[in-house]
C-alpha cells in the first residue's frame, strides 16, 4: 500500500492500493496484442486488468509480464524499461518481446462511490501474486511511503487511527483478512468475483457520519428513506420519538432491548391524520411507549394489529386502545401452546384487508415462529411488515410445539413469491433486497438441517443435549440452551419427513 499525496484532490494523505484511471489505450488493439489472457476474460475485464498492471508499474515499478521464453520478467528486465507514463508501456513491451500477464490477475470486487459524494468513481479491485524478486519503489509523485502490510495489521493500525484509509479500502481489507494465504484468495476467485458491485450509502450513528455496504444491516433502511443518496438519516435506535421512514410510515422502537429482542420491538404506525392510522405490533405494556404512540395518532387510531401473541408484541394493545381507540386485530394461535390472554376483537385471516385512505394492509398467515403469526403487506408500497418471521441481523428461534420448522420454511417460500420491495421487521432496521434476504434464510435453515444430519451420522443415536454441541458448534456455548429449541424444531421436521426418529429419548438417523 502507498500513501496518496497530501495535495491530491481526492482522499489526500490516505493509504491506498496502487491504481489509477482506465486509459483508452488499455483496450486498444495494439495493447491487446501484447497481453496473455486466460479463457473467460472478456474485453472489459482485460482492459481493466491492463490498467491495473500498467498503474502498478508506473507507480511502484512492479510488472506482471512474461518474457519471450514465457517466464515472469525479473527486476533486471524491469530496470531496462521506462516507468514514465509518457513513454507508453505498450510499445516497450512489443519491442522487448514481453506480454502482460493479465491471466494472473483476478477480479476481486467493484466499488462505486457513494451517491451523496460530489466526486464519484467506478473502481475495480484486482488481486495477483507478487512476482518473485521484484521490489516496489514509489514514484514519489502520486504515491509515497510504500509499505508491505497484511490486511489484519492495516485494519488494526486503522482502528488505532495511525493508518488512514477510506471506506472501500477498509471493507476490501476486511474481505481479504478472512483468508490466510494467497492461494486461498485466488482459488475463491477462480469462478469470478465473490460479491456484486457495491455502492455504499451514508447515514449517521452517534452523531457522526457512517457508511454502509449492501451486506450491512442498515443498508436497506438507507435505501428506503433516501433512494437517491444523502447521509442525514439517523440510525441510532429511537425510543423517545417516531422515526419517519416514508411520508405515511413511522417506526417507534419499544425500550425493551435484550438478547431475544435485539434493539427492541419495532412498533410501526401507518397512515395520516386525514385517513386515520394503523399501529402494527404495539409492543410490551410500557406506559411511556404507549404514550408516545398515542401522541402521534391522537384520536385517529383505527386499527391495532398484532402479528402474533408473544409478550413483546401485543400486551400494549389494550392500554393503547384505552387511550386512542381503535380495534385490536390479530390471529390467536392454534393447539395448546400459545398465550391464552391474547384475545383480538377481530380475527385477521389470510387475505383479509384493512383500508387506510388509499392504502391497503393485507394479512398473510405465516405460521412457523408462532402458529398464529401474520405478516402484513402494504400493497401500494410493496412493503412487508414481517413481525418475527424475518428480522434484521439474526435468525429467529423456532420453538416447538407452537413453532414448527416445516411451516416456517413453507411460509418463507410463500413470502418469496410476493412483489416485496422492502421488509420492515419487528426487530432491526429495514431490510432491502427481500428475495435475497429470504433465500439466505432458507439456505441457512437447510444448511443447519444438513449439519444436524451429519452430526447424527457421526455420533449415532444421542440425546438432544449432546447433539446441540455438534449441530451448533458455530454458536457460543452460552446460547446452546436456546439453540436447543430450534434444534428440536429441526428434528421434528426431519421426523415428519421420515429422516430421523426418537427412541428412548435418543434421536437417530433413519435409512433413506
Q: Residues 12-45: pLDDT tens digits?
A: 999 999 888 999 999 999 999 999 999 989 999 9
Architecture of domain 239-432: 4-Layer Sandwich (3.60)
Q: Which residues contact 495 (CB under 8 A, 6 or more apart)?
A: 501, 502
Give the model's pLDDT for residue 230.
77
Q: Where in the chain are the domains? A: 2-189, 239-432, 442-509
Q: DSSP state, 72?
A: B
Q: What's the pLDDT band for 194 if we cut at 50, 70, 90?
A: low
Residue 223: per-residue pLDDT:
96
Identify the band that residue 221 occupies on the pLDDT scale cut at 50, 70 and 90: very high
Using only C-alpha atoms, the chain has a radius of gyration, in whole angstroms, of: 28
Q: What is the residue whose three cell numbers read 415462529?
A: 369
Architecture of domain 442-509: Orthogonal Bundle (1.10)
Task: Give 7 or 405, the one with higher predicted confidence.
Answer: 405
Compute the C-alpha angle 209/214/219, nearest 5°: 50
pLDDT of 339 above 80: no
Tell me the pLDDT band of 239, cut-offs 50, 70 and 90.
very high
Residue 438 pLDDT: 97
Quote the CA–CA distance of 124 and 113 in Å, as a whole number: 11
Binned at pLDDT 50, 70 and 90, residue 195 comes out as: confident
pLDDT at 336: 61
Q: What is the pLDDT of residues 141-167, one digit of tens each?
A: 777 888 999 999 999 999 999 999 999
> Is-contact 262 347, C-beta < 8 A?
no
pLDDT of 499 higher than 80: yes
Residues 6+ apart with CB under 8 A from 100: 34, 35, 36, 49, 50, 53, 64, 65, 93
Q: 140 falls in which pLDDT band (50, 70, 90)?
A: confident
Long-range Cβ pairs for the range 145-152 (8 Å, 24+): 145/2, 145/3, 146/1, 146/2, 146/60, 147/1, 147/2, 147/15, 149/1, 150/177, 151/176, 151/177, 152/177
- Nearest to 266, CA basis, from 276, 277, 281: 281
Strand bridging mode 346-347 / 327-330: parallel
Confidence of residue 99 (pLDDT cuts 50, 70, 90): very high
The chain-wide mean pLDDT, for the chain, equals 93
pLDDT above 80 for 337: no
CATH of domain 2-189: 3.90.79.10
Amino acid at each position: 500500500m502507498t500513501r496518496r499525496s497530501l495535495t491530491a484532490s481526492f482522499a489526500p494523505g490516505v493509504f491506498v492500493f496502487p491504481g489509477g484511471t482506465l486509459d483508452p489505450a488499455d483496450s486498444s488493439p495494439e495493447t491487446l496484442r501484447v497481453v496473455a489472457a486466460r479463457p473467460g476474460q472478456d474485453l472489459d475485464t482485460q482492459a481493466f486488468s491492463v490498467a491495473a498492471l500498467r498503474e502498478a508499474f508506473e507507480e511502484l515499478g512492479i510488472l506482471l509480464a512474461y518474457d519471450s521464453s514465457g517466464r515472469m520478467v525479473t527486476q533486471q528486465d524491469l530496470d531496462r524499461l521506462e516507468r514514465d507514463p509518457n513513454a507508453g508501456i505498450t510499445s516497450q513491451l512489443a519491442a522487448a518481446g514481453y506480454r502482460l500477464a493479465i491471466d494472473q490477475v483476478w477480479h476481486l470486487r467493484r466499488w462505486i462511490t457513494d451517491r451523496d459524494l460530489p466526486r464519484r468513481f467506478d473502481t475495480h479491485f484486482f488481486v495477483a501474486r507478487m512476482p518473485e524478486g521484484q521490489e516496489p519503489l514509489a514514484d514519489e509523485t502520486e504515491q509515497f511511503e510504500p509499505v508491505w502490510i497484511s490486511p489484519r495489521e492495516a485494519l488494526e493500525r486503522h482502528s488505532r487511527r495511525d493508518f488512514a484509509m477510506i471506506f472501500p479500502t477498509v471493507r476490501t481489507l476486511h474481505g481479504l483478512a478472512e483468508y490466510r494465504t494467497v492461494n486461498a484468495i485466488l482459488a475463491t476467485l477462480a469462478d469470478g468475483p465473490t460479491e456484486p458491485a457495491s455502492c455504499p450509502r451514508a447515514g449517521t450513528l452517534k452523531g457522526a457520519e457512517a457508511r454502509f455496504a449492501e451486506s450491512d444491516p442498515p443498508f436497506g433502511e438507507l435505501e428506503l428513506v433516501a433512494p437517491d443518496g444523502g447521509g442525514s438519516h439517523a440510525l441510532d435506535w429511537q425510543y423517545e420519538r417516531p422515526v419517519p421512514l416514508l411520508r405515511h410510515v413511522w417506526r417507534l422502537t419499544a425500550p425493551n432491548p435484550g438478547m431475544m429482542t435485539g434493539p427492541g420491538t419495532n412498533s410501526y404506525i401507518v397512515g395520516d391524520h386525514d385517513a386515520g392510522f394503523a399501529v402494527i405490533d404495539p409492543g410490551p405494556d410500557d406506559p411511556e411507549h404507549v404514550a408516545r404512540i398515542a401522541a402521534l395518532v391522537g384520536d385517529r387510531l383505527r386499527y391495532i394489529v398484532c402479528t402474533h401473541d408473544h409478550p413483546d408484541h401485543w400486551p400494549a394493545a389494550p392500554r393503547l386502545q384505552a387511550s386512542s381507540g381503535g380495534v385490536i386485530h390479530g390471529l390467536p394461535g392454534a393447539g395448546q401452546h400459545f398465550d391464552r390472554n391474547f384475545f383480538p376483537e377481530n380475527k385477521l385471516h389470510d387475505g383479509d384487508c384493512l383500508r387506510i385512505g388509499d392504502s391497503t394492509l393485507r394479512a398473510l398467515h405465516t405460521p412457523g415462529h408462532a402458529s398464529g403469526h401474520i405478516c402484513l403487506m402494504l400493497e401500494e408500497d410493496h412493503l412487508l411488515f414481517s413481525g418475527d418471521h424475518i428480522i434484521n441481523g439474526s435468525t429467529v428461534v423456532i420453538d416447538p410445539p407452537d413453532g414448527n420448522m416445516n411451516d416456517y420454511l413453507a411460509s418463507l417460500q410463500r413470502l418469496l413469491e410476493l412483489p416485496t420491495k422492502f421488509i420492515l421487521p419487528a426487530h432491526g432496521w429495514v431490510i432491502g433486497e427481500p428475495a435475497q434476504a429470504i433465500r439466505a434464510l432458507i439456505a441457512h435453515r437447510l444448511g443447519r438441517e444438513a449439519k444436524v444430519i451429519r452430526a447424527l451420522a457421526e455420533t449415532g443415536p444421542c440425546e438432544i443435549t449432546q447433539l446441540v454441541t455438534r449441530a451448533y458448534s458455530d454458536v457460543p456455548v452460552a446460547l446452546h440452551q436456546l439453540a436447543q429449541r430450534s434444534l428440536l424444531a429441526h428434528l421434528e421436521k426431519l421426523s415428519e419427513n421420515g429422516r430421523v426418529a426418537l427412541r428412548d429419548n435418543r434421536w437417530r438417523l433413519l435409512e433413506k
